[in-house]
Structure 1
Amino acid sequence: MTRRQTPGGPPCGPPAPPAGLRERRKQRTREALLHTALGLFDSQGYDRTTVDEIVEAVEVSQRTFFRYFANKEAAAFAVQDAVESRFLGELRRRPPAEAPFEALRRAALESWKSEAGPVGSGVGAELQLRTYRMIESTPSLIAAHMRRSVELERRTALLIAEREGLDVEADPRPRVAVAAFAGVMRLTGQLWGRRPDAGADALRELTELHLDLLRPALVCSWRTDRRDL
């Protein structure tokens, strides 16, 4: 409701809340919608959940939902959006002297360090795990997940090329490095999703373990400890 201005007097109606308070209210509304949507996707299935059910549970309008999320799919991938944004931000901040793969590795590990959990925005590791499992078990979301992964690889390769002063169209190395990195990260996510103790610590440990195994797996002999017969 807008405040009316009376002639020669102060504005009528309640004063507008301070900007900081408005932002906190918006954040709480978004978090309530996100938690409710992900909870419903997890309990009754993504395809069977409607936007009407989400907004009814939060007691807001559809218009409010679409103010924060373009559609239902955007809510399903909101956690992944946070993870990807944090990773790209960490990669941009890595020291220029770091080798490309080391920058990718450090950015991945740093992106999990947060007091609010591995994804921030009030979403902790447990809800992230449930979301990941929901996406992996929903055919319509798996297709979207693959499209998003390809786009993330493209953006990451462009960042690596920019760091190294390369033309990504002329030099294949940024894309090759990112493809190898992304494959390891996909494997890490799959193994993490299957673990009974899946949590933020387990995710960090698996990420570090598998990234550190990449170079030896590619360039070292696997038969070092085997006796020739």
Structure 2
Amino acid sequence: MSIEAGKPAGLRERKKLETRIALGWAAIRLTVERGFDAVRVEDIAAEAGVSPRTFNNYFSSKAEAVAARHLDRARMIAEELRARPASEPLWEAVANAVMARFGLTQETRGAGTSDQQWITGLRLMMTEPALQGEFMKAGALAEFELAAAVAERTGTDVERDLYPRLVAGAVWAAITVVTDHWLHADPPVAIVPLLRDALHQLAAGLPVP
């Protein structure tokens, strides 16, 4: 579910989006805390303050709910890119869009979870086969969403031209690599500087170190 760029969302659409986001974060928090197999749809719905029937209106499975934030973040990055000033160079605009929308906050993930607990839980979550498939599916959709925004900004065709898909693919690969590095770094590192550095290297054409 995404809001069409440039058009204000009505109250009903905003409420639906808020419910989707709440369910997605609830699914992630509970999976991090308990493990994927120990979480039921009923648990996710209760955590988000809705009924299981409402959950089923948004997602077909708990795995899809967990992966939803992956896709929704990309859609927000695409919307942010569309909102960047037309005078801003493409790679600068892409970096600013990503940095504006990327990050896990203490508020959304739950104040009672430490950084290390959160990272450990995410590591385990990413090894779950059912989730890996959903993340791959969400990643493909996310990449196309970003490519469409790049195409609009550059006057290219997302279906016919390589350029927007190449840019989106490179950006999404950078996000994936940075996330993996962040999850497994020892000692722990902050994700935002890593992401900023990765996007800077992309903008520079990935010069040899």
CA shift in 2, pair 1:37/1:162, >3 Å: closer
- Name the one with the larger helix percent: 2
Among candidates 64, 79, 91, match of residue 89 of structure 1: 79
Q: Which amino acid aligns with 1:156?
A: L
Residue number in structure 1 paired with 2:35: 45
Query: Out of 82, 91, 102, which is 1:101 matched to?
Result: 91
- C-alpha offsets along residues 74-105 of structure 1, whole Å, 9 cap, x if unaligned? 43134334422321221111112233222211
Structure 1 residues 41-87: Cα deviation after superposition (integer angstroms, max 9, x where no partner): 22432134222444567886422443565531243134334422321
Larger radius of gyration: 1
Structure 2 unaligned residues grouped into runs of 5+: 1-10
Give, as a single letter, the amino acid of the residue that structure 2 aligns with 1:210.
A
The one-letter amino acid of 1:178's match is A
User: Could you say if the C-alpha distance between residues 121 and 193 of structure 1 is closer, same or farther in structure 2, counting changes exceeding 3 Å?
Assistant: closer
Give TM-score scaled by structure 2 length. 0.70
Letter in 2 for 1:72: K
Q: 1:123 is matched with which residue: 89, 108, 115?
A: 108
Give the CA deviation at 1:173: 1.3
Question: For residues 150-180 of structure 1, what are the alpha-carbon distances to aligned partners after superposition, in whole Å with 9 as ceiling and x for unaligned?
Answer: 1111121111111111123332111112222
The TM-score normalised by the length of structure 1 is: 0.65
**Which of 127, 142, 167 lines up with 1:177 in the alignment?**
167
| Change in CA separation of 1:36 and 1:109 when aligned onto 2, cut-off 3 Å | closer
Report the 3-state secondary structure (helix = DSSP H, G, I; strand = E; otherwise coil) of the residue aligned with 1:77.
helix
Question: Structure 1: which 5+ residue stretches go unaligned?
Answer: 1-19, 113-117, 223-229
The equivalent residue for 1:192 is 182
Aligned pairs, how many?
190
Q: Looking at both structures, which has the greater relative contact order when contacts are Cα pairs under 8 Å and sequence separation is at least 6?
A: 2
1:209 lines up with 2:194 in the alignment: no
Which residue number in structure 2 is paired with residue 149 of structure 1? 139
Percentage of pairs with the same residue: 27
The alignment's C-alpha RMSD in Å is 3.7
Residues of 2 paired with 1:156 and 1:35: CA distance? Answer: 22
Q: 1:64 to 1:173 in 2, by over 3 A?
A: closer
Structure-1 separation of matches of 2:80 and 2:118: 20
Are 1:136 and 2:126 counterparts?
Answer: yes
Code of the residue aligned with 2:197 in structure 1: it is L
